[in-house]
Chain A
Amino acid sequence: MAMASATEPQQERDKAFAPVLKVLNGIPLAVWTLIGLLLFWEAYVRIASVPPFILPAPTAIAQEFRDYGHRLFPNALVTMFEVVFGFTCAVLIGVPLAVAIVYSTFIQKGVYPLIVASQTIPKVAIAPLLLTWFGYGMAPKIVIVILLSFFPIVINSVMGLRSASEEMIHLARSMGANSWQTFWKFRLPHALPSIFAGLKLATALSVIGAIVAEFIGADQGLGYLILIAGSNFDVARQFAAIICIALIGMCFFFTLEMVERLVIPWRNKADVSGDA
């Protein structure tokens, strides 16, 4: 780094700042970028005196959180529930369906192509239909979350389960493994990394699903708040809600990442040596 080519007085100054530098070094680079962007945003809004109904300053958004938190929080909980519940259902449907596709020729030939073809239908287009069927409560939102997120789960699980090598299956059969053992001890653990890749894709989609569903018809949730705030030209409130959505998405993704580390420990070990 630059330290190597630094001249002597600079080096001494660096030494004096060493503890500070150490703390600063611990903060990820991305956080610095974010801080930079926020400062630039704040400065731009103030200098160019942008009206708050076009673009509020970060401090204004922070103020919004303080004043309006009591309304944001319960609505964020609603959205979070829709996301997590819908995602869980999608996993409970998607993974067993993938197993059925891999093991049953009928489902693989008769059902799987239809599932793939159905993905050409934009889910947003059928959302109003779901509202007429399931009413304005949480049910249609959860259904949309499931519809959006189950596909990558199915596709990735199928790919993972199919990717067991011929040699591995030979090994299983040579030991006299029955189909249940072959699945449980060979195919499924082999497929786990691929299944988790699908789950991670699905987290982002399930958040999108919940918000879109709330746009179309809801009386609570962050999507609903954004819609109301938009009709009132309350841009700061929209930003506050968007930040909540982003936080929900991030927490969800990182939780999944932690679970993955627990379930697939051999991957992490390999990754560490690969990175170094």
Chain B
Amino acid sequence: MNAIPSPDSLSTPTTDSTPSQCAPHVSIAGVTKVFNGRKGRVQALEPVDLDIRRGEFVSILGPSGCGKSTLMMLLSGLLPSSSGRITVDGKEITAPNPEAGIVFQKDVLLEWRSALENVMIQAEIRKSDKAEAKSRAMELLSMVSLDDFHDAYPSELSGGMRQRVSICRALLHKPPLMLMDEPFGALDAMTRDQLQLDLLKLCRDDDMTVFFITHSIPEAIFLSDRVVVMTPRPGRIERIVNIDLPRPRRLAMREDPKFIEYVHELTGIFKSLGVFREE
């Protein structure tokens, strides 16, 4: 089981004994991003520092346009940072990191491939064992209740179904690090609850580290060990909130007074940032 840090360990930097054990899985140090767009320079990220432990579930909460997706793209190595250093497993990220599993904000399904083939592209590109990958793909698809849609083309699927296929694609190669950009944004509330539970189970079974972007405060609390709150653009980390709820998480915990307290705390932070304006 994960050692869950207590809320008051937030301010004191953790200094553990053996460096090999506590070396963070992902380390972000002084990372910034400036886009040179058509409208001149856009500072998307101000210096960001964040360490993520192996097996930790970290959610990123922030208003639209604050640079959440940008930060994820930097972590994946698909975009170069403007300054700072990102390491995964102690190795600096300078090129796309094929170890990661990525769920993009758009589903990016290949229109010419069936749902199953869209999941299998992962195995084809990586040249992994076909038969093994196929049985895992089937398993994943049935986990997201798409058993009857293996043969369907993306044009025959709803938005939520498409996103579920793209989640399966990202999970196929059992990535040690998952980067997810609002993966459940397009889903209905019930599928969303189920997938949250499934994701947590997968994390536990495979000891996956998850970097999870969301707009939903309850979702962030329900899933995470830590919730990172970002400021409006240019984004930087405003606050990190430790979520001290027992695991495995149960849906009923969302009515827990402690859970509701976290909701109030995070809502309060966003109010103070001017993201929520009430009359």
Contacts and interface: CB of A to CB of B under 8 A. Distances in A.
Nearest to B98: A176
Interface in B141-162: 153, 155-156
Interface residues of A, number: 22
Interface in A42-64: none
A217 interface: no
Nearest to A268: B153
Contacts of A171: 102, 104, 108
B112 A264 contact: yes
Given A177-B125, A185-B121, A185-B124, A270 B96 contact: no
Interface residues of B, number: 23
A172 interface: yes
A165 interface: yes
B10 interface: no
Interface stretch (A14-22, A83-91, A186-194): A186-194
A181 B112 CA distance: 15
Interface in A259-274: 264, 266, 269-270, 273
B180 interface: no
A81 B110 CA distance: 38
B126 A270 contact: no
A273 B111 CA distance: 15
Contacts of A186: 110
A269 B110 CA distance: 15
B42 interface: no
Contacts, number: 58
Contacts of B155: 266, 269-270, 273
Contact of B98 (A175, A192, A266): A175
A174 interface: yes
B214 interface: no
Contacts of B108: 165, 167-168, 170-171
Nearest to A175: B125
Contact of A176 (B73, B104, B110, B126): B126
A10 to B, nearest CB: 42
A175 B124 CA distance: 10
A71 interface: no
Contact of B125 (A168, A185, A270): A185
14 contacts: A167-B106, A170-B73, A170-B108, A171-B108, A174-B76, A174-B98, A175-B122, A176-B96, A176-B125, A186-B110, A190-B112, A269-B156, A270-B153, A270-B155
Nearest 8 CB-CB pairs, A to B? A176-B98, A270-B155, A175-B125, A266-B153, A173-B96, A189-B112, A167-B108, A177-B125
Given A174-B100, A185-B124, A192-B112, 15 more contacts: A168-B108, A168-B110, A170-B73, A172-B125, A173-B78, A175-B98, A176-B96, A176-B98, A176-B126, A185-B121, A266-B113, A266-B153, A269-B153, A270-B156, A273-B156
